[in-house]
Amino acid sequence: MRRRTLLLLLALTVAGTLLVLRSGPTRTVYRGGRILTMDAGSRVVEALGVEGETIRTVGSEAEVRAWAGPDARVVDLAGRALLPGFIDAHGHFPGAGAYAIAADLNSPPIGTLARMDDLVERLRAKAGDTSRGEWVIGIGYDDTLLAEGRHPTRADLDRASTEHPVAAIHVSGHLGAVNGLALERLGYGRESADPEGGRVRRDPGTGEPDGVLEETALDPVGAVVFQPSTLDALRVVREAVRRYVAAGVTTAQTGYATAEQVRGLTLLSRLGVIPLRLVLWPAMELADERLAGRFEFRSYDERWVRLGAVKLVADGSIQGYTAYLREPYFVPSGDDPGERGYPRIPREELVRRVTRYHEAGWQVAVHGNGDAAIDDILDAFEEAQRAEPRPDARPVVVHAQTARDDQLDRMRELGAIPSFFVLHTFYWGDRHREIFLGPGRAARISPLASARARGLRFTIHCDTPVVPMEPLRLVWSAVNRITTSGAVLGEVQRIEPMQALRAVTIDAAYQHFEEASKGSLEPGKLADLVILDRSPLEDPASIDRIRVLETIVGGRSVYRAEGE
Ligand SMILES: [Zn+2]
């Protein structure tokens, strides 16, 4: 570690210690607003009493004031709403901070990119302040939102720079495009073989890679993006923290963590740089290392950093045509009318791996967007339970976008938890209907109401940085299912606001095996709170426009909106 970095970390440690010393076990009373507890009865109460980092009492204002005594600090909510802090069921912290070091290639409504020339220009500008030979990375482009309606090619990216390896990562994170120098560095050429579970797209005439890399073929680029220098890593983490606390998030999630990420994030958490609780999902490769005794993890404090489920990725993304569907895509990407994506992990291997991790006593979470992938995942969960019955294993199907009714039935039987990426109805809903899935399947992506009707406990997530961390837009999406064009996609799959709020609080805590300490406002739980400018139960149509005013983790304020 360089000396300057060490000094910086030391300074941060001192700052962290001072913050800890300042927060004594004073009693605080919150009153005068709508306090949504998310307890078993979804009670809305008058007052909440907090001592130090813990919730001590909930109920009528008289009760809570009697407990608090005359010297307590009283926070008047002035008609605003107090809820449990939002818990990220699935995302990739600190990926949202990558914009601190990478070019932003998002198109509206997230960014401003309109055409290929804009993309090239952004990357050229980034190359301008990057040392020669170093990687230039841009993230978030969406081929279907560019005027040209296609992915960038090596030729496009060579226009950005021929002196830097350049990579543009697709908004799904499952595909990307690189320039000629990057192809050379990665060892992809006319003669190179495609890796298993991935594809190097090629010019049909010459067989030369055209620059677009799918799935596992993109993994070596991911390794570059996710292993920045120590100082860059700090910048990324701080930017991600800034975005998460401003959104009311109190528990962040890292959905496919490497050993470096686990070590780095644990260190930064311990130093007080990350005032959020973290649930890290080790990537399957890291789980293998752990099984082989080559990786050990002991949390310094389980309330702040925990290892959660082992994460596997069974297929890709629908908008990248790499989600593995049972029926073909509505409009194929090329000439093949039978195109239906492919598995990233062959079924037999998936079953073997899931069984192995399950037998080790771990929770398992598997990314599955296409229903053919979900079939494989549920087969694997079933085989694992047959090999080693465990009553409360809580396996997770991550995204579960095209889950059919028969698959929801199976999830219920298996005690599996679907974590739905329901914001797809907003960001990609119109294109799911018109391009990727067609009207029938599009109307029932993220079938929340069907899951609810079965009594299936589920969560919802933003998969940040795929889309921005906005739990309230996420809740709004589950409640309204409105697309960017303003259409309603699958009206019958809409759910009630309270149900959607539970999916980002108590049910997300349950998914992480943390419902005893988080997710609802009940005595004995951690005082992880968010104050909103109004209750989300008031006007379901405008939940996305509710402002986060304050975020509190363990009784300590970590964010205040301007003017608060
Ligand atoms: Zn993800």
pLDDT tens digit sequence for 285-338: 999 999 999 999 999 999 999 999 999 999 999 999 999 999 999 999 999 999
Residue 259 CA to ligand 1 center (angstroms) comes to: 18
Looking at residue 254, its pLDDT comes to 97
309, amino acid identity: A
Q: How confident is the model at residue 22 (pLDDT cuts 50, 70, 90)?
A: very low
Q: Give burial (CB, 10 Å; 0-12/13-18/19+) of 327.
A: middle
Number of H helices, E strands in the chain: 19, 23
Q: What percent of the chain has pLDDT over 70?
A: 95
Residue 429 CA to ligand 1 center (angstroms) comes to: 18
pLDDT tens digit sequence for 128-165: 999 999 999 999 999 999 999 999 999 999 999 999 99
Q: Could you tell me which of 366, 377, 371, 489 has the C-alpha nearest to residue 424?
A: 489
Residue 423 CA to ligand 1 center (angstroms) comes to: 13
Residue 518 CA to ligand 1 center (angstroms) comes to: 22
Tokens 């300490």 locate to 517
Residue 96 CA to ligand 1 center (angstroms) comes to: 12
- Is the confidence at residue 23, as pLDDT, over 60? no
- Is the confidence at residue 16, as pLDDT, over 80? no
Looking at residue 17, its pLDDT comes to 47
Segment 397-426 shows an average pLDDT of 98
Looking at residue 175, its pLDDT comes to 95
| Half-sphere exposure in the Cβ direction for 60 (13 Å, CA) | 3
Looking at residue 20, its pLDDT comes to 46
- Is the confidence at residue 222, as pLDDT, over 90? no
Report the Cα 302 to chain-centroid distance in Å. Answer: 21
Looking at residue 9, its pLDDT comes to 53
Residue 467 CA to ligand 1 center (angstroms) comes to: 10
What is the DSSP-derived secondary structure letter of residue 50?
Answer: E
Residue 390 CA to ligand 1 center (angstroms) comes to: 26
Residue 255 CA to ligand 1 center (angstroms) comes to: 6
pLDDT tens digit sequence for 358-400: 999 999 999 999 999 999 999 999 999 999 999 999 999 999 9
Residue 366 CA to ligand 1 center (angstroms) comes to: 10
State the Cα–Cα distance between residues 310 and 395, nearest whole angstrom: 10
Residue 254 CA to ligand 1 center (angstroms) comes to: 9
Question: What are the residue ranges of helices labelled H in 149-208?
Answer: 154-160, 180-186
Segment 498-526 shows an average pLDDT of 98
List residues, by chain if needed, whose CB lies under 5 Å from ion ligand 1: 255, 463
Phi first, then psi: give them for residue 373, nearest 5 degrees. -65, -40
- Is the confidence at residue 495, as pLDDT, over 50? yes
Residue 398 CA to ligand 1 center (angstroms) comes to: 8
Residue 71 CA to ligand 1 center (angstroms) comes to: 46
Residue 463 CA to ligand 1 center (angstroms) comes to: 5
Q: Could you tell me which of 533, 504, 532, 499 has the C-alpha nearest to residue 518?
A: 504
Residue 491 CA to ligand 1 center (angstroms) comes to: 26
pLDDT tens digit sequence for 425-473: 999 999 999 999 999 999 999 999 999 999 999 999 999 999 999 999 9
Residue 41 CA to ligand 1 center (angstroms) comes to: 31
Residue 313 CA to ligand 1 center (angstroms) comes to: 9
Between 3 and 320, name the one with better pLDDT: 320
pLDDT tens digit sequence for 65-109: 999 999 999 999 999 999 999 999 999 999 999 998 999 999 999
Residue 193 CA to ligand 1 center (angstroms) comes to: 27
Residue 36 CA to ligand 1 center (angstroms) comes to: 29
Residue 487 CA to ligand 1 center (angstroms) comes to: 26
At 371, list the tokens: 């229903």
- Is the confidence at residue 111, as pLDDT, over 60? yes
Q: How confident is the model at residue 21 (pLDDT cuts 50, 70, 90)?
A: very low
- Is the confidence at residue 228, as pLDDT, over 80? no
At 217, list the tokens: 């073929």
Residue 489 CA to ligand 1 center (angstroms) comes to: 23
Q: Could you tell me which of 134, 173, 243, 178 has the C-alpha nearest to residue 471?
A: 243
State the Cα–Cα distance between residues 45 and 531, nearest whole angstrom: 14
Q: How confident is the model at residue 6 (pLDDT cuts 50, 70, 90)?
A: very low
Buried b (16+ CB within 10 A) or exposed e, 392-424: ebbbbbbbbbbbbeebbebbeebbbbbbbbbbb
Lowest mean pLDDT among 21-30, 289-298, 444-453, 475-484: 21-30
State the Cα–Cα distance between residues 521 and 515, nearest whole angstrom: 11
Buried b (16+ CB within 10 A) or exposed e, 269-305: bbbbbbbbbbbbbbbbebbbbbeeeebeeeeeeeebb
Residue 440 CA to ligand 1 center (angstroms) comes to: 25
Looking at residue 1, its pLDDT comes to 42
Q: How confident is the model at residue 25 (pLDDT cuts 50, 70, 90)?
A: low
Looking at residue 18, its pLDDT comes to 45
- Is the confidence at residue 539, as pLDDT, over 80? yes
The contacts of residue 543 (CB under 8 Å, 6+ apart) are 472, 473, 475, 476, 479, 480, 497, 536
State the Cα–Cα distance between residues 397 and 393, nearest whole angstrom: 13
Residue 89 CA to ligand 1 center (angstroms) comes to: 10
